[in-house]
Amino acid sequence: MTTRFALTALLAATALVAGSAQAAAPKKPLTKPRAATPAPKPAPLPDVVRVALVTALGTIELDLDHKHAPITVENFVRYVDAKKFDGMPFYRAMRLDWGTQPNGLIQAGLQANPLKVFKPIAHEPTSQTGILHKAGTISMARYAPGTAMADFSILLSDLPSLDADIKSANADTQAGFAAFGHVVSGMDVVRKIWDSPLSPTKGEGPLKGQMLDPPVKVLTVRRVVVPTAPQPAP
> What is the pLDDT at residue 27?
55
The four Cα atoms 66, 70, 73, 75 give a dihedral, to 10 degrees, of 150
More confident residue, 191 or 231: 191
CA distance 87 to 83: 9
User: Residues 40-64: pLDDT tens digits?
Assistant: 677 899 999 999 999 999 999 999 9
**H runs (alpha helix) in 148-232:** 171-175, 187-194
> What is the pLDDT at residue 20?
37
All structural domains of the chain with their residue ranges = 48-224
Q: Are strands 58-65 and 48-55 parallel, antiparallel or unpaired?
A: antiparallel
Q: Percent of the chain, pLDDT > 70?
A: 81
> What is the pLDDT at residue 228?
77
Residue 5, Ramachandran bin (φ over 0: left; ψ between -120 and 50: alpha; else beta) = alpha
pLDDT reading at 18 higher than 50: no
Is residue 150 within 8 Å of residue 173, measured between CB atoms? no
User: Residues 179-207: pLDDT tens digits?
Assistant: 999 999 999 999 999 999 999 999 999 89
CA distance 77 to 175: 23
Q: What are phi and psi of 188, to 5 degrees?
A: -65, -35
> What is the pLDDT at residue 78?
98
The pTM is what?
Answer: 0.81
pLDDT reading at 26 higher than 60: no
pLDDT reading at 19 higher than 70: no
**Mean pLDDT computed over 65-88:** 98
If we measure between CA atoms, which residue out of 146, 197, 212 comes closest to residue 176? 146
> What is the pLDDT at residue 123?
98
Q: What is the mean pLDDT of the chain?
A: 87
Q: Percent of the chain, pLDDT > 90?
A: 77
> What is the pLDDT at residue 231?
67
Determine the longest span between alpha carbons in the chain, in angstroms: 100
Read off the DSSP letter of residue 160: G
The four Cα atoms 76, 145, 66, 222 give a dihedral, to 10 degrees, of 10
> What is the pLDDT at residue 198?
98
The four Cα atoms 130, 82, 109, 193 give a dihedral, to 10 degrees, of 90
CA distances 160 to 28, 84, 149, Å, are 72, 30, 22
CA distance 176 to 163: 5
Name the CATH topology of 48-224: Cyclophilin (2.40.100)
**Mean pLDDT computed over 142-157:** 97
